[in-house]
Chain A
Amino acid sequence: MTQQTVAPPADRVGYRDNSWQLTDMADKATGFHALADALVALTERGHPIVAGTADLKYSNGLVRYQQRYPERFLQFGISEQNMVSAAAGLATTGLIPYVATFASFMSLLAVEQMRTDTAYTKQPVRMIGHHAGFALGFYGASHHATEDIAITRSMANMTVLAPADPAQLAALVEASVDVDGPVYLRMGRGREPLVYDAATAADVRIGRAVVHGFGSDVTLVATGTMVHPALEAVRLLRDRGIDAGVVDMHTVKPLDVDAVLAAARASSLLVAVEEHNVVGGLGGAVAETLTEHGAAVRLVRHGVRDHYVPVGPPTHLYRHLGLDADGIAERVVTALNGEGSDHG
């Protein structure tokens, strides 16, 4: 009886052998290798890159950049505020700094340095907030970043990017080198399943969403880590006779207004999907756009429903919060059945 009650669910088995941390892709394809390798490629092509981190070079893979360009790698230790301000100083000398730390520390601990030293000054600093959302599942709320999109997109001059997979990450990092002003680039665990092959990803343009079709019933507007489960959810919904599509909104700011309005015209329901609080993030940005353009379409904001995320392995949390394919599909079905949102 007791044994039965605590018997692990199917995904718990994965937890035991740690396979929840891994995907089936080769280690080479992880987002963090993609980050370092993209920076190496940019440096090889003559861009004035420097890379820095705050005692997380193994977590974000920048150690690979350090191995290749030790004189262009800066270790700041556990001093995120110092790192962001120093990156702004580096940028004034003609360099393009890419500095990386956990998204929670970048967007919350160093928020004022981001705003006053990089955004107000329009310096070309690229700030990579990795392990965003609840990628650091059981580390707890201090290590979760469920506010970073809301915070960074409210900063004037800031570009906000959230790639869907390692291939798109590499393409966006390469594209980001030419952005005028600062960039916040939001990464997940770096182990996201591949959505794109390298050739397809290379077509990415900052500010231009990737449209994976509009559904007459529903279009999912997803960003970052939520693009892959959203695409899976489309297949589940089709099995249930629901016509669904996905817009990959890898650039949250500047938002692709045309793509949002096209989705609004094509679909009777939009669902914004993000690994972020429903307040102020992608859903907020889409809602602002729809309202200002008088688009007559219902929008559901699907994400973390204005609470702190409990501890747990990330894959378990996706399921718990309805942010895996099943949960996203279920949210669409309940919305199409007329159920409203239970959050602000």
Chain B
Amino acid sequence: MSLDVTGDQAQPPAQVSVELTDERIRLLEEKALFVRTETVRLISIAKTGHYASTFSCAEIFAALYYHVLNLRRGDPGYPARDRFVMGKGHAAVGLYPLLADWGFFDTSVLDEYTRLGNPLGDHPDMTEVSGVDFSSGTLGHALSAGLGMALGSRITANPFSVFVLLGDGELHEGQIWEAAMSASHHRAGNLIAIVDRNGYSLDGAVDDVVGLEPLADRWRAFGWEVHEVDGHDAGAVASVLARLKNRPHDAAPAVLIAHTVKGKGVHFMESEFGWHLGWLDRADEEAVYAELNGGTAA
């Protein structure tokens, strides 16, 4: 299958199709499955990892990397590329296989995930991993870093777009709202945030820990254009992100609240928030592969 999905336009902003073909939607669904199965494989190497947080954003990864982002295969430093910054860096295990798939590093690097001497950690390190646009780990920084990139795009007359994936629990961090206020003030229309609204953080339901609602209104009050989507409908995610990317770069910044299920695709992870961090033993791992490949979560 072709990875040359957005082309190598020398003059971005690269307009990207809002209408997805059935073939493209099937590609995105395949890639979301690829994210999940690779996540299981890589965490089996590390022997602990964030399965559930990664499964909730698998379709978001797929939509970005196989429809929305302007990337050039094998060229992670391509200056006109769109940027992707992960606030919830603990889902990087699902990103690494996609970066390898784009030829940013050899797929064999995945096989030693988190082992001493390997560049791939639980959280992504831009100085070590080709294709990672910014390091993360501490929640709350990414929207600011993305804002800096978006403003840098304007100052350097290099009109790429910046996508920032935020966890919903991450929105408890005050710096997010500093960045939100700043981005709308600076009319950073090429800054697009995606909230993975999977509903859970470490201590339980996010809205029990500290309530976020009315979340869409809160973003609107900060001057953002707000959209909501079923975060597991890869075609819908890709379509709305494409629409947001195609807007003028001096528009209001935009946020997509993606309603997702933590642990999506594995029934016992969907129903138990304790799977934020965990490890599957061999027998459970086979059952998980079977459930994912069967395509039906109980």
Contact = CB atoms under 8 A, between A and B. Distances in A.
Interface in B78-108: 79, 83, 85
Contact of B138 (A50, A72, A88, A116): A116
A116 B151 CA distance: 20
A89 B149 contact: yes
Interface string B179-196: 101100110000000000
A37 interface: no
Given A112-B138, A121-B126, A94 B144 contact: no
Contacts of A91: 148, 152
A120 interface: yes
A81 B149 contact: no
B158 A93 contact: yes
Contacts of B126: 92, 121
A86 B137 contact: no
Contacts of A86: 144-145, 147-148, 151, 179, 182
Contact of A90 (B83, B149, B179, B182): B149
B144 A82 contact: yes
Contact of A85 (B79, B125, B156, B175): B175
B144 A81 contact: yes
A235 to B, nearest CB: 48
Interface residues of A, number: 31
| Consensus secondary structure, chain B interface | helix
A74 B257 CA distance: 28
A117 B149 CA distance: 13
A79 interface: yes
Interface residues of B, number: 33
Contacts of B83: 92
Interface of A is mostly: helix
Given A77-B182, A79-B181, A121-B135, A90 B127 contact: no
A120 B135 contact: yes
B130 to A, nearest CB: 14
A82 B182 contact: yes
Contacts of A113: 141, 144, 175
Given A72-B155, A116-B138, 9 more contacts: A81-B141, A82-B182, A83-B144, A85-B175, A89-B134, A89-B144, A90-B149, A93-B152, A93-B155
